[in-house]
Structure formats: structure tokens, C-alpha cells
Chain A
Amino acid sequence: MHNFEFLKPSTVKDAVAALDTEDAQALGGGQTLIPAMKQRLAAPKKLVSLGGIADLQGVKISGEVVSVGGSTIHAEVAAANVFSGLKLLAGGIGDPAVRNRGTIGGSLANNDPAACYPAAALGTGATIITNTRKIAADDYFQGMFTTALHEGEIITSVTMPVPEVSNYQKFEQPASRFALVGVFVAKYADWVRVAVTGASEDGVFRWSEAEAAFSASFSADALSDLSLDACGMIEDLHGSKAYRANLVKVLAGRAVSAAS
């Protein structure tokens, strides 16, 4: 790993200022960035740890909205009294030690095509709040490892409207424990959102046909006439495109059954 300057500011303002140089990068829990730096896939000259900023920590539940601070670790979300789909998702990320370090901000900023949080954000229609603006989840995810974030922009919190019912079904890639496919389903008074991770070469996406079908009838049977085009799915040693397309449908059905 190449060496770098290390800073750990205690305010967002100082962090933003520290990030305002070339080759500076934010450090969340490091559960993605540190492995990437060991492989020299990333080689920042300056790392700005967000772990010392109290304002970025914690889960707030107020009426219809759950707000999660950008540096909140997965274990804290899993232990909080949040809606069931989110609790399940956070509690199923990686393993206990990963959940004790990895943060929602890091996960969403990284936007790994097999990561879990993007499915919750897109599946609830979350708002990603940064030091400068609010970004709707529908505008935020722009393909695998690509987001609407600008250089040096920090995710300060994520707000999610609380669904009536929700569920997350994850089929683990058996080595990494990431999602081979993960499907998040959230039912609101007037609509249903279905977000899929792990499957597509374009990263997390909404399966609009399933959303329409579930909005009409919130049951696994509603999917029976649907099929997902396998073209554009990821193919690797753990599964073919057709296999992933199948998993999306199976898991979407199971998520609805488990939620209702």
C-alpha cells in the first residue's frame, strides 16, 4: 500500500476543507477502501477519516422517516428499531466485524454492484443528503461504482420514508458473502418499490414491471407472468446471467411473501 497523509477531523466543515485537494479521499469504515488500497486499486495521497465526526453518527426515527447518519455503522442500524427490511439488510451485511466498521455512507458512495445498502436506498426512495445538497436515490445511482457524488462531497445522512411493510432477500455469493442477488421490496400506501442489487451490469436498479404487479396485488403470485430479461445481467464464476435473472424473480416473490 502506498503511504498517505492521515487526518481525522471532528467537524464536517473541517473534513470538507481537508478533502478539497487533489487525491484526497474520505475514509468511512475502510471495509472497502482499505482492501482496495492494499491491492493498489486506490492510492489516495490524503485520507480523511470521517469516524471522528459526532454529527455523522446515529439513527433517528421520527414519524414517517428514518434518518441514518453517514458514518453510522451497519451494526448500529441492525440494532436500531428501524423498519424490518432495513434491519434485516443491515444485519445481514458481511459478518459481525464488517458490520462493526462499515458505514452506510461508505457503502452508498462506493456503490458496489453487489452491495446491499443501494437496494434499501433505491427500494425506499431514500434521499441521500450531502454537505451541499439532497439527492433523490433515483438520481443518485448511475451504474456500478458510479454515483452522483462530486469529488470531495460527503454523505452526511440518508433519509428513508418508512414503508408499511418491507423485506430484503439476499442470496449470498458464498465466498464473499456479498449479494449474488439481493431484492428489496417496500410497500407504501399507494405504491410498491422493488430494488435489485447484485444482478445487473448497471448496478442497482428498480424492477418496474414487478413494482406494477405488486402494486396491483401484493403477493408472490403477482409475478407469475413476469420474467426478467437476462441480457445485461452479471455473469461470473458464481452464476450465469440466466441464473441471476431467475434469482431476482425468486427473491422478489419471497420478499413479498415474507413482508406480507
Chain B
Amino acid sequence: MINVKMTVNGKPASGSVEGRTLLVDFLRNSLNLTGTHVGCDTSQCGACTVHVNSKAVKACTIFAADADKSDIKTIEGQANKDGSLNFIQQAFQDYHGLQCGFCTPGMVMVAVELLKSNPKPTEAEIRNYLDGNICRCTGYHNIVKSIMAASGQDVSAIAA
């Protein structure tokens, strides 16, 4: 077993893992942070997306041991300090950016990364950035709209 220490959503977290323990399993099973989902386990769907040292990565495709000493952010750490939804989460709620919600944690984590580097993305830029995130419910329409709205753009012209 390997002892790992990370900062997860700003708090120290540690545990003992096998070499093969995936980061997503460490987060979900050892830290009980089950907001990060596992949709495919084959690195395709993006439901497991978290930030490792400020970069969006698929937590099903990185070993917990390889993330030792890293700064991890998950969907559980996205709300504002007072517990209210952050601006991206709020936009998802306002614009019906989720239906079953399975893909949503990954979508939000990718959107957070996108808006950090590109605060006013175009529709095409948003769609490109979501290339690693699959949604079966929404047809992406309201996800894209939510992210545009979160970036402060006027979405009233976007059809329902």
C-alpha cells in the first residue's frame, strides 16, 4: 500500500491506496466524495472530470498514487463559501442545463476550466471544449446556453 496526501477542495486528505487505485475511486470510496461520477470507465465520457493542480483531468484515468501531493478540486468544492451555487452551477439551474444530472459534475468542472482561460467563449469554442464530455439527456443545447450565460453573455437570442 502507498500512503498519499492531497489537498482536496482546500482541505488536507490522506489515505492508503494500492498502485492500481484510480483517483476517482479514492475520491468516491475513501473520501466519500461521490459527486464525481463514473460514466464509462474507458476515458470517454468525462463524468469523472476533476481538477488536478488546476487542470481538468479524467479521474478514472489517473492513479491516486500519481496524484500524491496534488491540489484536487471536485464538484463538492464548487459551491460558494455560503453554500450557494457558484455562478456556473447557478446558470445550469437557471437554464435547465441538466436533466438526469449524471454528466453534470464533469460538465461543470470542464466549464470552470474553460471560463478561467477564456472568460467569454463563443458557442463553437464551448462545444469544442466539451468534446470529452458526453450527455445523453440534453442534446447539449442548454448546457452550452448555461455556460454562455455563466460567462455573462446575453443568451436571450438563443432559441429555446
Q: Are A and B direct contacts in the complex by CB distance below 8 Å? A: yes
Task: Give the contact-size bracket for chain A.
Answer: 20 to 34
B131 touches A6 (CB 8 A): no
Residues of A close to B133: CB separation below 8 A: 95
* Interface presence of A125 (CB below 8 A): no
Q: Which chain A residues numbered 1 to 50 have a C-beta less than 8 Å away from chain B?
A: 1-6, 8, 27, 30-31, 34-35, 37-38, 47, 49
CA distance A212 to B26 in the complex (A): 54
In the bound complex, do residue A35 and residue B65 qualify as a contact, i.e. CB atoms below 8 Å apart? Answer: no
Chain A residue, CB-CB nearest to B106: A97
Whole-angstrom CA separation of A129 from B46 in the bound complex: 33
- Give the shortest distance, in Å, between B57 (CB) and chain A (any CB): 5
A94 CA / B42 CA spacing, docked (Å): 13
Q: Can you list, as one digit per residue, whether each of B54-76 has a CB less than 8 Å from chain A (1) or not (0)?
A: 01111001110110100000000
From B18, B20, B42, B65, A8 is in contact (CB under 8 Å) with B65
Q: Is the CB of A96 within 8 A of B20?
A: no
A101 at the interface (CB under 8 A from B): yes
A-B contact count (CB 8 A): 75
Q: Which of A222-241 contact B (CB under 8 A)?
A: none
Inter-chain CA distance A108–B3, complex, in Å, is 32
- Is the CB–CB distance between A35 and B43 below 8 Å? yes
The 6 closest A-B pairs by CB, nearest first: A95-B132, A6-B19, A95-B131, A100-B55, A6-B65, A4-B19
Q: Which B positions have Cβ atoms within 8 angstroms of A?
A: 2, 18-20, 22, 41-44, 46, 49, 55-58, 61-63, 65-66, 68, 110, 113-114, 129, 131-133
Contact sample, A vs B, 19 pairs, CB 8 Å cutoff: A2-B20, A6-B66, A8-B66, A27-B63, A30-B62, A30-B66, A34-B61, A34-B63, A49-B65, A51-B66, A94-B131, A96-B56, A96-B113, A97-B46, A98-B43, A100-B55, A100-B56, A100-B57, A177-B132
